[in-house]
Structure 1
C-alpha cells in the first residue's frame, strides 16, 4: 500500500499516479480544512483500512491497472454511497458522458481550476452524506418491517394505499376490530406517529 498521508477519518481521498499532483491536491484540500489521504492507484486505495470511509474521492481517469472510470463504475454497480470527482488531462466527451451516466459528480480537465475542483468536492461530500443518511434510514425501516408478522405486513400494505379499516376487513375477510388491532401493532412496531409517516416508510422500502 502506498499511503502518502495518514489520517483517521479523511474527508477527501485523492487517487492519482502522479505524486506531484497528489501533493498539490492534498495541499489545496488541507488549506481549506479538508482532511485528505492520497494513493497512487486504485489497488492501493482498496488495500487501505477504510475503503468505505465517508467523503469524496478525486480520481484520475487514466490510472495503471484499474482505471478511475472503471473504479467509479464499480462503485456505482455495488451501490456505494461514495461520491467521485474524476480528473484527467485527456478526457473526451464520450468518456465524460459515460462517467456522468455512472454517477460521477463531475469530470474536470487538467490543469484543474482550484475553485472548480473545490466546488465539485464540496458538492460530492454533501451528496455522500445525504446518501448515507438515506441508507441508514432505509436500514432502520427494513429492520422494523422485518419485525412485523405476515398479517401485519399485509395490513400495512393496504393501509398505505389509503384503504379504510372497514374496506381492509372486507378485503381480508376479518373483523374491523381485528384490523384495528393489527393496524395499531403496525404503527407501534414501525414507530410511525401518523399515517403520513407510515406512507413515507413504505416509499423508502420501494
Structure 2
C-alpha cells in the first residue's frame, strides 16, 4: 500500500496491539496503539479525519461508546471495529454507530489490510471535503451582510428582479450584488453557489441563512 498514513489502534490486549503495529509497518503504515478509549481521548484531539481500528469491548468506555462520542463531534473518524466475540446484533450496533467495517478476530492479515486501505482512502476523501468546506466558509465570511442575504435568495433560485423587489433595491444594484457574491464565493454559476449554500447549511444552524 505504500506510505499512506496512520492507523490509530485501540485494544486492551498488548500482544494484539504489537502484532498489529508490525503488520501495519510491513504495509508501509504507522500504527499508534492505545490500551483504552480514555487513553486515546487524552492523547488525541481530532482536528482532521483519521482512521481508527477499535476493539468493541474495552475496559472502561467501550469501543461502541467511543465511536458514538466521536461521531457527535465536528470531525468524524473513519472507524473499523474488531472483536473476539462478534455476533450479528453487535455488528449491527457497530455499523449504526458509524463504523465503516466490522471484523471478527482472528482475521486474515490480507483482509484487514484491504479494509484499512479502504478506510484510509475514505480519510483522504474526507480531508479534501474538509478543505473544500473551509474554503467555502472563509469566502462566505468575506461577504457583507447584504451580500449574504443576496446569496441566500440566489441559492433559493430567486430571479434577480424578484430579489431586488424583495430587498427593496434597484435591479442594477441587485445585479451588482449578484456579481460580487459569485466572485467572492468563487462560484461559476448560481447552481454552484446553491451547492455551496447547502454545504454551509449542513454545518450550521438554519438561522444563519
**1:3-152 pair list within 5 angstroms:** 11-48=6-43, 52=47, 54-152=49-147
Count of paired positions: 198
C-alpha RMSD over aligned residues: 2.0
Structure 2 length-normalised TM: 0.85
Q: Which moved more, 1:129-138 or 1:174-183?
A: 129-138
Cα shift readout 1:51-95 (whole Å, capped 9, x = no counterpart): 556531111111111111111111111133311111111122222
4+ long deviations beyond 4 Å: 49-54
Residues 62 and 88 of structure 1 are in contact (CA less than 8 Å); yes or no, is this contact kept in structure 2?
yes
Bigger drift between 116-125 and 189-198 goes to 189-198
Query: What is the TM-score of this pair, normalised by structure 1?
Result: 0.87
Cα distance between partner residues in 2 of 1:156 and 1:50: 34
| Pairwise CA distance, 1:46 | 2.1
User: Which deviates further from its counterpart, 181-190 or 44-53?
Assistant: 44-53
Give distance in 2, aligned partners of 1:93 and 1:36: 28
Q: Compare 84-93 and 44-53 and name the one that shifted more.
A: 44-53
Distance in 1, matches of 2:112 and 2:127, equals 22
TM-superposed deviation, 1:187: 1.6
Give 3-state SS (helix, strand or coil) of 1:105's partner.
Answer: strand
